[in-house]
Amino acid sequence: MNARMDFVNDSSRHAHQCSRTAPIHITVIMAPYSSSSSITTTLEMFDSANTMDWFNKRRNKQSQSTQLFHIETASVDGLPVSCTGGVSLAPMKALSDIESTDLIIVPGFMFNIMPVLHTLQPISDWLKVMANGGAQVASICTGAFVVAEAGLLDGRQATTHWMFLKQFQRRYPQAKIKDDYTVTDDNGVFCSGGASSAIDLLIYLIRCFGSPELASECSRKLLVDTSRRTQTPYVQYNFKRNHEDQEILHVQDWLEENYQSDILFDEVATQFNFGVRNFIRRFKSATGDTPNQYLQSLRIEQAKHLLETTKTNFEQITYQIGYEDSNSFRRLFKTRVGIGPTDYRKKFQL
């Protein structure tokens, strides 16, 4: 099992799909403010899978009369929708025109999901009805919020873009969030992480609803990297400052200026006129982290910045940010970031 992309044992699904003679019906939702690229990439990926499947059938002298995937698009009212980037997309149908489907793809909504989520309730209501009728549902990126509003992620594994994971957890505590997965699959409901994870999800769906061989061929011919991936290296730590504890804010300011020093928090507490236990309690209440966790995050973010923007070796970076043992910091870095410093530099250096 792939721990990151959550490739479950889906041999029964493959057997079921491969025994079908009718095409697999896929409905791609078009919604206002959604990511146009998540929609067009979905359409192109399944169209490519159909093309490759057609050539394989022809090569093996099999019947080519039925496409593997029958794809249609739909909006709430059947009218064109304005997506991100000023792109307008025209659907084939209204949601009410669709009586049944096998798989529904919910697009992502880039960074504007929270302001528009309440306007998407008709889609969530429709998803719930269709799922109760047997349809499976897949969401791209922040489309997971639309699926969760339908209650379809209660008790199920889920993921979404890393920037929205905490909001997602607070809003949908019943979902089993997997914060570093790029793809989850739990009992007919699929989710993916950020924008590039849409490709991971689509290849996985082709694997599930088509075959592993077809998914592999799509990966090779479309130059898609199907190696294990995680969102963790992309995460930028969010240092919480939107609280009202002004004394703790002063401590945060001081830590950001002195993180490279040898810091003892008993002395920091005294310096800012706190008792030690009261300091730790108030700091965690305000920021969500213990002082030591906060300091580690400051140092790791600075190490990431130096790896991205300089050629300084990791041992020197270790000393610059306040650590003496580069081996122990290397282990901490890999644990927190998901990859080692050398691989991080290769991936992100400017």
Angstrom distance (rounded) from CA 99 to CA 216: 32
* Residue that finishes a domain, picked among 210, 234, 258: 234
Is residue 66 in some structural domain? yes
Name the residue range of residue 287's domain: 246-348
Angstrom distance (rounded) from CA 311 to CA 146: 43
pLDDT of 25 over the 60 cut: yes
Nearest one of 112, 126, 45 to 82, comparing CA atoms: 112
Is residue 63 in some structural domain? yes
123 and 160 in one domain? Answer: yes
250 and 229 in one domain? Answer: no
323 and 220 in one domain? Answer: no
State the chain's mean pLDDT as an integer: 85
Q: Are strands 69-75 and 93-94 parallel, antiparallel or unpaired?
A: parallel
* Residue that finishes a domain, picked among 202, 234, 266: 234
pLDDT of 209 over the 50 cut: yes
Which range, of 92-96, 123-127, 156-160, averages the lowest pLDDT? 156-160
**CATH code for the domain of 188:** 3.40.50.880
If you average pLDDT over residues 309-322, what whole number do you get?
91
Q: Which span out of 11-20, 186-195, 218-227 was modeled with the highest average pLDDT?
A: 186-195
Is residue 240 in some structural domain? no
Angstrom distance (rounded) from CA 263 to CA 272: 14
pLDDT of 277 over the 60 cut: yes
Which range, of 19-28, 227-236, 264-273, 280-289, averages the lowest pLDDT? 227-236
When pLDDT is cut at 50, 70 and 90, the band that residue 304 belongs to is confident
Residue partners of 233: CB distance under 8 A and separation at least 6: 337, 338, 339, 344, 347, 348
266 and 202 in one domain? Answer: no
pLDDT (0 to 100) of residue 8: 41
174 and 88 in one domain? Answer: yes
pLDDT of 9 over the 80 cut: no
pLDDT (0 to 100) of residue 55: 82
94 and 31 in one domain? Answer: yes
Total domain count for the chain?
A: 2
The helix (H) or strand (E) run that includes residue 291 is helix 291-309
The whole model's pTM is what? Answer: 0.65
Q: Which span out of 52-61, 64-73, 93-102, 295-304 was modeled with the highest average pLDDT?
A: 93-102
pLDDT (0 to 100) of residue 229: 55
Is residue 210 in some structural domain? yes
Q: Which segments of 181-279 are extended strands (E)?
A: 183-186, 189-192
If you average pLDDT over residues 74-80, what whole number do you get?
96
Q: Are 142 and 164 in contact (CB under 8 A)?
A: yes
142 and 212 in one domain? Answer: yes
Q: Are 347 and 308 in contact (CB under 8 A)?
A: no
50 and 114 in one domain? Answer: yes
pLDDT (0 to 100) of residue 105: 97
Is residue 2 in some structural domain? no
306 and 204 in one domain? Answer: no
**CATH code for the domain of 333:** 1.10.10.60
92 and 50 in one domain? Answer: yes
What proportion of the chain, given as a percentage, has pLDDT over 70? Answer: 87
87 and 194 in one domain? Answer: yes
Angstrom distance (rounded) from CA 19 to CA 314: 54
* Residue that finishes a domain, picked among 214, 234, 254: 234
pLDDT tens per residue, range 219-265: 877 767 655 555 555 455 667 777 889 999 999 999 988 999 999 99
Nearest one of 169, 195, 180, 122 to 6, comparing CA atoms: 180
259 and 329 in one domain? Answer: yes
Which range, of 191-200, 211-220, 231-240, 307-316, averages the lowest pLDDT? 231-240
pLDDT tens per residue, range 26-67: 999 999 999 999 999 999 999 999 998 888 878 777 776 678
